[in-house]
Amino acid sequence: MIDAVTALLPTSAHVLIGPGDDAAVLAASDGRVVVTTDMLVESVHFRRDWSSAYDIGRKAAAQNLADVVAMGARPTALVLAFAAPPDLPLRWATDLARGMANECARVGAVVAGGDMARADVVVLSVTALGDLEGRAPVRRSGARPGDLVLLAGGVGSAAAGLALLESSDARLIEQFADLVAAHRSPSPSYESGLALAELGATAMIDVSDGLSSELHHLARASGVAIAIDDVVPAARLSAAGAALGADAREWVLHGGEDHAILATVPPELTNAAAVWTTCIGVVGTGEGVTMAGEPLTARGWDHFRGRA
């Protein structure tokens, strides 16, 4: 299985030594390396009957690549630790690897190594590395009063897709296939995140747990207050909400896993990002997060409790 997976993985100039030795060796051109890791557990973070191996691979890659981008770094490589039941079809593993490799290719990264073990359920642990290309890392703590709050990428679609799958309503799942696809394999806007870093974003964060909780993370880490405008769900989300009897605003405010990039940017720089971001609010002095003048509670996906 390791050979079959390794054989299909493309490589890149960043990979000085790839799979097959005790460890991989990667270029870290500016003398620093960005690293993040995430674990996905079957029936907690994904279901094999709800998502294809290819989509699970894309998603596992995406959430780690988005974390690297949210530091202002270009992802260069992933390593994958993978546990599975002995009866897992080889095809499932190779599809997973193809999904990871293809998501990596969207931002110029590759899968550079891994490990395989046995477990009763599929467990994926992805570690992503990135290159700051000489830039300062963009932390959560850099937001300053007066900055504008920008969002690159949409939020709420993945949560809507999850709600559709949970409804088991085949007709709705087909009708809103775009939202279900957003849940199965989100497409973070890596280049927008990198462009925000290049532009001079003061803070950035990957929206993995829900907009409300990420806004609170930013505000707390930076010691500032954030005021966002009232949220108006896109028509598509509102239609799915109406069909399910759910509140689409909840998906937008508290739904996770879209992996949009949330950034704060000095106002004189925001114009350059106006085409590929949405301005959703402003940074002020004080603390806490408000929406249309009312306190906005942090709520979102809790990775430890999960929601399988």
The whole-angstrom distance between residue 301's C-alpha and the CA centroid of its chain comes to 13
145 vs 306, which CB is nearer to its own copies? 306
Burial of 237 (0-12, 13-18, 19+ CB in 10 A): buried
* Among the listed residues 114, 156, 161, 188, the single contact to its own copies using CB under 8 A: 114
Q: Is 28 in the site for its own copies (CB under 8 A)?
A: yes
Q: Is 44 in the site for its own copies (CB under 8 A)?
A: yes
Give ∠ CA 306-263-128 in degrees, rounded to 5.
Answer: 55
Q: Is 107 in the site for its own copies (CB under 8 A)?
A: no
Q: CB 210 → its own copies: shortest distance, Å?
A: 15
Asked if residue 235 lies in contact with residue 168, where contact means CB atoms within 8 angstroms, the answer is: no
Q: CB 154 → its own copies: shortest distance, Å?
A: 19
221 vs 244, which CB is nearer to its own copies? 221
Q: Is 17 in the site for its own copies (CB under 8 A)?
A: yes
Q: Which two tokens stand for residue 73?
A: 């770094």
* Among the listed residues 4, 47, 90, 120, the single contact to its own copies using CB under 8 A: 120
Question: Could you tell me which residues are beta bridge partners of residue 83?
Answer: 117, 123
Give ∠ CA 159-137-190 in degrees, rounded to 5.
Answer: 40
240 vs 265, which CB is nearer to its own copies? 265
Q: CB 261 → its own copies: shortest distance, Å?
A: 10
CA distance linking residue 306 with residue 308, whole number of Å: 6
* Among the listed residues 107, 109, 132, 172, the single contact to its own copies using CB under 8 A: 132
Question: Alpha carbon of 238 to those of 33, 175, 243, 246, 301: distances in Å?
Answer: 42, 14, 9, 9, 21
* Among the listed residues 5, 9, 34, 180, the single contact to its own copies using CB under 8 A: 34
* Among the listed residues 58, 59, 98, 140, the single contact to its own copies using CB under 8 A: 140
Burial of 87 (0-12, 13-18, 19+ CB in 10 A): exposed
61 vs 79, which CB is nearer to its own copies? 79
Q: Is 243 in the site for its own copies (CB under 8 A)?
A: no
Closest among 200, 187, 103 to 150, alpha carbons compared:
200
Question: Could you tell me which residues are beta bridge partners of residue 203?
Answer: 264
Q: Is 134 in the site for its own copies (CB under 8 A)?
A: no
Q: Is 13 in the site for its own copies (CB under 8 A)?
A: no
Q: Is 38 in the site for its own copies (CB under 8 A)?
A: yes
Q: CB 114 → its own copies: shortest distance, Å?
A: 6
Q: Is 195 in the site for its own copies (CB under 8 A)?
A: no
Binding mask 47-86 for its own copies (x = CB under 8 A): --------------------xx-xx-x---x-xxxxx--x
Quickly list DSSP for 91-155.
Answer: HHHHHHHHHHHHHHHTTT-EEEEEEEEE-SS-EEEEEEEEE-TTPPP--GGG--TTPEEEEES--
81 vs 234, which CB is nearer to its own copies? 81
Asked if residue 10 lies in contact with residue 110, where contact means CB atoms within 8 angstroms, the answer is: yes
Q: Is 31 in the site for its own copies (CB under 8 A)?
A: yes
Residues that bind its own copies (CB under 8 A): 1, 16-17, 20-41, 44-45, 67-68, 70-71, 73, 77, 79-83, 86, 112-121, 123, 125, 127-130, 132, 137, 139-141, 204-206, 221, 303-306
